Amino acid sequence: MAEKVVIIGSGPAGWTAAIYAARANLEPLVFEGAITPENQQKGTLPLGQLALTTEVENYPSWPHMESNALAAVLKSALAPERFANIEHLTTSHTGRRTIFGPELMELMRQQAMNFGTRVITDDVVQVDFKNHPFRLTSLGGKQVEALTVIVATGARANYLGLESEERFKNRGVSACAVCDGALPRFKNQPLVVVGGGDSAMEEATYLTQFASKVYIVHRRDKFRASKIMQQRVLENPKIEVKWNRVVEEVLGDDEHGVTGVRLRSTVDDTTEELKVAGMFLAIGHTPNTAFLEGQLELTETKYIRWTKPFRTWTSVEGVFAAGDVADDYYRQAVTAAGSGCMAALDAERYLAHKGWL
């Protein structure tokens, strides 16, 4: 029998959609993603991008609290085997702190499961949206039929691909200034932002609130960003642009994390080192939509196209999209969760309209 709602993806959008769908008795089935070396490498393991971050200070309802108290909440809420996955986070920090990404994601997952959500730990690798019920095929070869599908597979930040960058992820290397910029390690320190688009301009400007100085490293001699955002950057006395350069190496050590970057010129062979406490990548995101090619309308940059303002509708009736997979603009956990809720309500209304409830 066809599933009423299948949700693909396990970030804030996916779990919020599951919570709402489960509470509406739609018995949602979530494909949370596969645990594979490829997904590890790409940053697309179950629980999404938030599971790759440390502190999440901007998700409402999680102010700072004693680490012990947080540990008690987690222990009480989660199944023992899931708590075991994150116990090291609760013991390695003392004093007051905010919730960490993996902890928040485990709570969302648990909340969805408490209402009867079923979870398959696998990727959906193929979809047939041309026939109804829709048909989904997983990496492990499982086939599922669905009356509605919510795609919430998110996007992944692009990185430069340096080994040293990988080593210092979460220890000075970040792809989200809004998420990480206010962390103590960056306070009154020089920082570097890589990129020349609107995100780089926005992140650099944002970081000047905390940093002693912000360098922007851009590989060309012109920004791609809109004029107004460029102007804001070029007029900011705290920002210095390093034109025609790329980051060749992230420098640092185990004790301090990032301590600098080595730049290489793109016009000659010169190199130089900058002392910085952090490197923020703003070189674009890649939405996780490869498996949807030819099945759903995507934008030029491969995000799912929402077809009606303030709806999560896509180009295929009965298929909805939530979170970063359809949003290249806000990209926040709370906005993803909000659109997950919208997608579940849209799916429920669609099923009711069709008389399939």
Q: Which residues are catalytic?
A: 176, 179-180
Site membership for ligand NAP, residue 118 (CB under 6 A):
no
- Report the C-alpha gap between 120 and 344 in whole angstroms: 19
Residue nearest to ligand NAP (CB): 197
Report CA-CA distances (Å) from 30 to 5, 149, 154, 182, 224.
Answer: 9, 10, 14, 34, 38
Site string for ligand NAP, 309-328 (x = CB under 6 A): -------------------x
Asked if 251 is part of the footprint of ligand NAP (rule: CB under 6 A), the reply reads no
What is the C-alpha to C-alpha distance for residues 52 and 36, in angstroms, rounded to an integer?
Answer: 15
DSSP secondary-structure letter at 321?
E
Question: Of 284 and 338, which has the nearer Cβ to ligand NAP?
Answer: 284
What's the closest the beta carbon of residue 217 comes to ligand NAP, in angstroms? 8
Return the bridge partners of 247, or none. Answer: 263
Q: What angle do CA 161, 167, 171 make, to 5 degrees?
A: 115
Residue 205 makes contact with ligand NAP by CB under 6 A: no
**Site for ligand NAP contains 196 (CB under 6 A):** yes
Residue 6 found at the interface with ligand NAP (CB under 6 A)? no
From residue 144 to residue 183, the character string flagging contacts with ligand NAP as x (rule: CB under 6 A) and all else as - is ----------------x-----------------------
Q: Determine which residue in the list 42, 64, 220, 354 makes contact with ligand NAP, applying CB under 6 A.
A: 220
CB 301 to ligand NAP: min, Å:
7
**Dihedral, 270, 271, 274, 278 alpha carbons, nearest 10:** 130
CB of 191 to ligand NAP, least distance (A): 17
Spatial contact of 347 and 313, defined as CB atoms under 8 Å apart = no
Nearer to ligand NAP, 116 or 197 (CB): 197
Q: Which of 71, 258, 46, 96 is nearest to 170 (CA)?
A: 258
Rounded to whole angstroms, how far apart are CA atoms 214 and 208?
Answer: 6
Contact residues toward ligand NAP (CB under 6 A) are 160, 194-200, 202, 219-220, 224, 246, 282-284, 328
